[in-house]
Every structure is written in C-alpha cells, then in structure tokens.
Structure 1
C-alpha cells in the first residue's frame, strides 16, 4: 500500500471533535483524566500510548482539543487508514508495519512533522490493538528511533484503561504521565525497553486506583 500523508481539514477536525465527544459519552459511563504533563505554548510533544481499545483512534483528538491544544498528528496503520480514509483529514498519516523500508518513510515524515510550531504526535508503539495485560507491552522500534532523532521534543506516556467495576457500562481512565528523560545515546533496543516500562508502570498505577478511589483523577463527564 502507498503512503497516505496527513491532509488536515478544519471542517473535519471540527466535526469529529463534536462526534468524538458525543461518542465517548454514549459509550462510556464516565471519563476520568489524570494529568501530570501540560505543554507550554512553544513545547513540541510526542505522546505514546498503549493500544487496547477500538476507541484509541479517537482519544488523541479528544485529548488535544480538550487539554493540549497543539498542532497534532497521529500515526495509524495503513490497513486502518485504507478502511477509515477520513482519519487523514483529522491529522493521521499511515505506516506499513509489514514493510520496514516503507515504515522508514512514515517515520521520516513524522520527524519532519515535529518541525512545525506547537507540533505534537500521537503514536501507539505496539502497532496494533492488543489484549489488556499486566505484562509489559511490546513496542516496535520506531518510537525509540524518533526519540533519538528529535531535539527539544518532550516524550510523554499516556495510559488508557477501561473498567467495569462499578457498572455494566465501562468507565474510561486516562493517565497522562510526566515527560521521560532517557539517554539518547543508548542502544535502540535498550531505549525501547525503557519506553515500554514507562507505559507499563503508568498502567499499573492507573489500575491500582481506577474504579476504587480514583485518586488524582478529575471527572470529565
């Protein structure tokens, strides 16, 4: 499949912002957010997230419009982009995970995207939806490559967790962690392991309180 670039449309972003808010409220009983990172007016940020829900494709739009208000884009598997072509209109671009050479094209495009003012990028480093697990996630190497190639860009983990402890209708908890600080000179494999652990620990912390005390979370709806 050929590379699909982002092709933002103000109308599509406006429309899907409203659709996303409606859809999340319809699907989830409550939405809770814990935020330890807030970008400044000149900050550029790469957000990396676990990938366990179909809804993950819409969550970045909600977070950016509601909290971050940056010039956001997202990486999306090319098979999904072919099926849901409108995602390019809200800032997504494709990556072919089965072809390493094609994947490099997408990563270079991502790197160039971070040159924009107030740029941000949402990436699901697992590459595909995986079943929820207490094990450490398994990331593709692209996130570590981006981390090594960027300068003055914050990398921030975001944990997404859905639970049914209080109701038959799921509640959604989103934990936005602190920016990470790893040595860019270490090997790509070691760096990937540290980034995996960043998400893993954030997810474990989220599961400890989500649906029980909700400590540190603010109620969105």
Structure 2
C-alpha cells in the first residue's frame, strides 16, 4: 500500500489552487449541519459518486473542521495523482486481501495517533442515484477496533439548477459510536450504516429537488481564515 506523506507547505499551496478551482467549477456549495466535530479524532464516511468528493472534503476540513485529516483512496487513483499523498491520502487495493488488511491497520494506526480519516465505504465511485448504497465492512472493523472514536456521516449531491455551473449540496449528521449501531454481527452493522446513509442521501436529494436553499448555508460566503 501507499502511505500518506503530509506536508503543511503543500497543503497551503494546494488551498490557493483549490479555492479558485471550486469557484470556477461550481455556482455554489450548500451545506447543512456543517460544523467542527466536538471530539477528535473522528471517522468521516460519505457516498462516493464523483472525482470531486475528495476535494470537497479537503475544502470542508480547511475552513470548517480543521482536523489533521487523512483519506483512504483507491490505489489506482493515488498512483495517477501521487501528490494527494502530501494532503494525507493513502491507498487501498481491494483486489489484494493482504493490501486491504494493511490499509485497515494503517488507518487504525492513524486514528490511534489522533488523526481523523475519511472513508468511502462503497469502495468505488457509483452514480449518485445508484441504490442500494453497498458498503464494505471496513468501517465497522475500524469502529470495533476503536470504539471510543465517533463516526460522522456526510452526504454529497451534485445538481444543476438555474445556473450554467452545477452546485454541490452537503449534509453533515451528528456523530455516533459503534455501540449506537444496530446488529450483533459485522455484516448486520454494515447493513445498518448502508440504510442510514441511504436515507440521509435521499433526504438531501429531496431538499435539492424542492430547492430548499433556506435550510442550508452558502459555504463559500464564509470568510477564509
């Protein structure tokens, strides 16, 4: 597996690139419940439908969460974009069982060192309308190994409305712990997460279709600090 190699200097330089990139690519970023988690470290999970997902996470962390964040990324993607290592990305190769375990053990190590991680439990990118959201068991494995670390579900939805550019809609739920997840077996607990995140994503889609922008904050109007 490919480990992260974070560099603060690169993070600062990348931010100066990312902000104008988001401005030129999206007409707006709408967020609901976006706030810094009260506890560190945490596991962020999200649906995965776009190449943009990771970049949206980097932006949210920079201006809202401010965690020492790391992100699991498919090995092929990290090989193609190796500079993401300097932002905290590390790899997983689901075609190799030994590599999967190595990535999970590395993730556990990061969490126990006080770092937060971003995981996409679907494993690969799927269209945002694909149902069900089929999750791998890795998140539950980590929660069982680190029961004091909370999980925070994030939903991401991309949509065109009345502008030339698309919008990003983001929903953040409150943190919860492995003991809050129903089921006695890992597979049952994973199914619970799938159902929870599917409901969260469908709820977010409902806000988007109804154009209920008043329930969201415009994330890019926040002053950069």
C-alpha distance in 2 between matches for 1:202 and 1:176? 9
Aligned match of 1:25: 23
**Paired residues for 1:201-216 under 5 Å:** 201-210=199-208, 212-216=211-215
1:73 to 58, 61, 70: 70
CA RMSD, Structure 1 to Structure 2 (Å): 1.7
Following TM superposition, by how much is the alpha carbon of 1:101 offset from its aligned partner in structure 2, in angstroms?
A: 1.6
2:57 to 41, 50, 60: 60
Aligned match of 2:100: 103
Secondary structure of 1:93's counterpart equals strand
C-alpha distance in 2 between matches for 1:143 and 1:109? 13
Aligned match of 1:159: 155
Query: Gapped runs of 5+ residues in structure 1?
Result: none
2:176 to 159, 180, 184: 180
C-alpha distance in 2 between matches for 1:167 and 1:197? 32
Question: Judging changes above 3 Å, is the alpha-carbon distance between structure 1 residues 187 and 9 closer, same or farther for their aligned structure 2 residues?
Answer: same
Following TM superposition, by how much is the alpha carbon of 1:215 offset from its aligned partner in structure 2, in angstroms?
A: 4.1
Following TM superposition, by how much is the alpha carbon of 1:168 offset from its aligned partner in structure 2, in angstroms?
A: 3.3
Question: Judging changes above 3 Å, is the alpha-carbon distance between structure 1 residues 179 and 122 closer, same or farther for their aligned structure 2 residues?
Answer: same
Higher helix proportion, which one?
2
Query: Gapped runs of 5+ residues in structure 2?
Result: 221-225
Aligned match of 1:219: 218
The runs of 4+ residues in structure 1 deviating greater than 4 Å are none
Structure-1-length-normalised TM-score:
0.92
Structure-2-length-normalised TM-score:
0.91
C-alpha distance in 1 between matches for 2:166 and 2:52? 12
